[in-house]
Amino acid sequence: MSLSQKSIALPGEQALQDLGLRVTQPAPHSSTAGFPDGGAFRLEIPSVEGPAALAAVISEASRLGVPVHRVSQGSGVMMLSDAEITEMVGASTEAGIELCLFLGPRASWDIGAGRFTPSGGSGPRARGRDQLGQALADAQRAVELGVRCLLVADEGVLWAAHQLRAAGRLPAELTLKMSALAGPANPASFQVLELLGADSINVPSDLTISQVAELRAAGAAAIDFYLEAPDDLGGYVRNYDAAELIRVGAPIYLKFGLRNAPNIYPAGGHLATVVVDSARERVRRAHLCVQRLAELGLLAARSPDGSRVMPTSRRFVAEAG
């Protein structure tokens, strides 16, 4: 379901016109794309760091009537036991929610000192053969336990995982999701990530509506966007932009981080209370967005509950050998 430029009034537009402030600039073009199920947007709850957090999300979503399509985790596959992953796969499947787990350690967890420099060094990317191999080992273990969506923060890990998927060594229905830690900020980089194998790409939350429209015009992969970004990603709160983001960015996942909350990666028993409480609060934040979209009559533009099939994307072709 695509949304036209005239189908959504900008917040406060009539009030501004009544005050004589006819200052609204031409709107960027509407996206004509969508998910294969016909939906323009889906909802994602990030930082769901284990079975207890997932249970809290499912319970709160049911209580508030929030149609959650996907939950994602940030601590990584390696920080969960087989039993925990199996429990999360079972609970998410029963609830009709896609489960996405983060692959491998990255530079920020490694012994390299570059991350302490002002530039942040290699940041979220995999360092050397070891971290690349460890990420792929995480991928293999996760899919063997039933996970069908993996979160990646490195272009090389993405390309390698996609090649394994194309070769049948990882499931064909596996979704590869690019992390906000390495999100593209221009159309060319968005296109490259799609060509490398990304099905779903988290773009920076400080992009303007017009810039999001530019990324959408460059590729078919789903856009992931933090309406509320965690503090370490900028702390932006852009609830009123939801409708315009759907209009120009479809197909798009709206994500709900949590500003003014402690960093919980890697999560564990020592953070159990804050992990569960913050997961529940992320659902409440999503509820606020759902209320706003309902007022605008836009809930019909969301994907049906339980949807996870992604748009068809173009890919690079790997050379033989």
Contact 92, 57 (CB under 8 A): no
Mean pLDDT of the chain: 93
Amino acid at 151: L
Ramachandran quadrant class, 38 (left: phi over 0; alpha: psi -120 to 50; beta: rest): left
- The pLDDT tens digits for 244-267 are 999 999 999 999 999 999 888 889
| 212 pLDDT higher than 60 | yes
Going from the N-terminus, what domains does the chain have, and what CATH number goes with each? 35-109+121-301 (3.20.20.70)
- In whole angstroms, what is the distance from residue 260 CA to residue 53 CA? 18
Q: Is 132 exposed, middle or buried (0-12, 13-18, 19+ CB in 10 A)?
A: middle
Quote the Cα angle for 184-189-194, to 5°: 95
- In whole angstroms, what is the distance from residue 41 CA to residue 253 CA? 6
Give the residue carrying structure tokens 């031409």. 26
Contact partners, residue 127, CB within 8 Å, separation at least 6: 106, 107, 110, 112
Tell me the angle at which helices 155-166 and 187-196 cross, rounded to the nearest 10 degrees: 40
- The pLDDT tens digits for 186-205 are 999 999 999 999 999 999 99
pLDDT of residue 121: 62
Instruction: Tell me: cis bond preceding 311? Omega within 30 of 0 counts.
Output: no
Compute the average pLDDT of residues 93-104.
97
Amino acid at 101: L
Compute the average pLDDT of residues 87-102.
98
pLDDT of residue 119: 55
Amino acid at 293: L
Write down the pTM of the prediction. Answer: 0.94
Contact 302, 34 (CB under 8 A): no
Q: Residues, the chain, total?
A: 321
What is the b/e burial string over 181-190, where b = at least 16 CB atoms within 10 angstroms of the residue's CB?
Answer: bbbbeebebb
pLDDT of residue 91: 98
- In whole angstroms, what is the distance from residue 31 CA to residue 280 CA? 32
Query: Reduced to 3 states, what is the DSSP secondary structure of residue 302?
Result: strand
